[in-house]
Amino acid sequence: MLEFIEERKNDFDVGYFINELAVASKNLGILEAKIDSYQFNSILIPMLQKKEAVSSMYIEGTQTTITDVLKSEINPQSKDEKIRIEVENHVKTLIYGAEYLRTGKFTHSFIKKIHEYMMKGIITPGLEKTLGKYKQKDNQIKNTIGVVVYTPPSASETKKYMDELLSFMNNETDGLNSLIKAAMIHSQFESIHPFSDGNGRIGRVLISLYLFKAKVINFPFFYISEAINMDKSVYYRMLTDSRTSSLNEWIKYFLHKVSVQTMKHIGYIDALNALYVKTKNIVKECVNSPKFDEIIECLFTHPVINAVILEDQLSVSHGQAVRYLNALERKGVLLGDDRKRGKTYYFQELIDLARGT
């Protein structure tokens, strides 16, 4: 029988993970300052959102890469349709969630709406009627070989557990540190398992949305899936243990992952900034155009690009777009494929950076 979250508010010892809490808080502060001072959020945020979507999909067993996602944006293939939809859903969910939470609070209708945004078009076949609704049938959590490791509260109990969790999420006067609360909320949500499908995706996106609502971060850009992917079997084991043991180990693990992810984001932003400056200097040598700044932004928002995309973004002729791309290829900024017509160009340095290579 799952305990209510209020009953677990004292089921941990802050001293056990005080160092992890201090480091995670410090690193998040550094990241926030870096984001606030960064001039190119129109470049940074969309890529971070795509990176998180790919990482979250990987946890759920969808094998794809950031390169596949970027390629599918300019050359959609039927086999990539589900991946494209899932990435778009992830981004839409975060945008909707942030806009709503600027003034709204966590409610049943909000949780159901983000489920609808996240799972539309990708929900398991046969479960389409459960979109945006709490489960109507009891469910179970199984391990990779199909053995039941946990049975969540029944469908009839879901609402009362979610009532209590939502009250906990909206309570701003309980004195609990927001990072500790985020860890507790994620564990409890996954333990309630309120939906027939999509609980992992929703539970992870709620981490970012809760930290945004709690004003720990100024934009819901902080995503933890990439760090979880480093040892996702440990993540699942920690979640399972958190249901019956003290929350100490789970919170310590969660805070460690927050620190790992913040350092990844900090490193990515620094490298992105260096690449931006370097690329701007190179492009300045080979492109003499009043569209110079727009060309740079287009490269960083469309690292896989063709002439059709560039002419649309810059409002130039197709021939002019081709000339720009060929000049950038000659300078080594872009790598073109072997096609003579409909050629695709790759900003490989940015793609490698986004992949973490």
Over the stretch 287-315, which tens digit does the pLDDT of each residue have?
888 888 899 989 998 899 999 999 999 99
Number of domains in the chain: 2
Residue 315 in any domain: the answer is yes
250 with 315, same domain: the answer is: no
164 with 222, same domain: the answer is: yes
For residue 1, pLDDT over 90 is answered with no
291 with 249, same domain: the answer is: no
The pLDDT of 225-236, averaged and rounded, is 86
For residue 76, pLDDT over 70 is answered with no
What pLDDT, on the 0 to 100 scale, is given for residue 111? 98
Q: Could you tell me which residues are beta bridge partners of residue 345?
A: 305, 336
Residue 274 in any domain: the answer is no
- Model confidence over 166-216: pLDDT tens digits? 999 999 999 999 999 999 999 999 999 999 999 999 999 999 999 999 999
Residue 279 in any domain: the answer is no
Look up the pTM and report it.
0.88
Q: Among 65-74, 85-94, 201-210, name the one with the lowest average pLDDT.
A: 65-74
What pLDDT, on the 0 to 100 scale, is given for residue 58? 67
The pLDDT of 100-120, averaged and rounded, is 97
164 with 73, same domain: the answer is: yes
Place of tokens 């932003």: 269
User: Domain limits at 328?
Assistant: 287-355
Q: Could you tell me which residues are beta bridge partners of residue 197?
A: none
Instruction: Give the domain-ending residue among 230, 265, 300.
Output: 265
What pLDDT, on the 0 to 100 scale, is given for residue 41? 63
Residue 318 in any domain: the answer is yes
Residue 273 in any domain: the answer is no
Instruction: Give the domain-ending residue among 216, 231, 265.
Output: 265
Q: Among 58-62, 92-96, 139-143, 197-201, name the one with the lowest average pLDDT.
A: 58-62
27 with 102, same domain: the answer is: yes
Better-predicted residue by pLDDT, 189 or 122: 189
Least Cα distance to 289 among 334, 341, 328 occurs for: 328
Measured CA distances, 107 to 58, 113, 354 (Å):
28, 10, 34
134 with 202, same domain: the answer is: yes
What pLDDT, on the 0 to 100 scale, is given for residue 77? 67
Residue 322 in any domain: the answer is yes
The pLDDT of 100-109, averaged and rounded, is 97
The pLDDT of 336-346, averaged and rounded, is 88
Place of tokens 């992917």: 229
For residue 339, pLDDT over 90 is answered with no
What pLDDT, on the 0 to 100 scale, is given for residue 321? 92
42 with 154, same domain: the answer is: yes
What pLDDT, on the 0 to 100 scale, is given for residue 340? 81
Q: Among 73-82, 127-136, 154-163, name the one with the lowest average pLDDT.
A: 73-82
What pLDDT, on the 0 to 100 scale, is given for residue 143? 80
CATH classification of the domain holding 328: 1.10.10.10
What pLDDT, on the 0 to 100 scale, is given for residue 287? 82
Contact assessment for residue 183 and residue 101, using Cβ atoms and an 8 Å cutoff: no
235 with 305, same domain: the answer is: no
What pLDDT, on the 0 to 100 scale, is given for residue 72? 74
132 with 254, same domain: the answer is: yes
How many Å separate Cα 291 from the centre of its chain? 32
The fraction of the chain above a pLDDT of 70, given in percent, is 94
What pLDDT, on the 0 to 100 scale, is given for residue 4? 96
Better-predicted residue by pLDDT, 40 or 137: 137
The pLDDT of 229-258, averaged and rounded, is 93
19 with 165, same domain: the answer is: yes
Residue 21 in any domain: the answer is yes
Output 219-222 pairs: Cβ under 8 A, ≥24 positions apart. 219/35, 219/41, 219/45, 219/98, 220/94, 220/97, 220/98, 221/35, 221/44, 221/45, 221/48, 221/49, 221/265, 222/28, 222/31, 222/261, 222/262, 222/265
Place of tokens 């973490």: 356
What pLDDT, on the 0 to 100 scale, is given for residue 307? 93
26 with 146, same domain: the answer is: yes
Residue 310 in any domain: the answer is yes
For residue 329, pLDDT over 70 is answered with yes
92 with 239, same domain: the answer is: yes
CATH classification of the domain holding 149: 1.10.3290.10
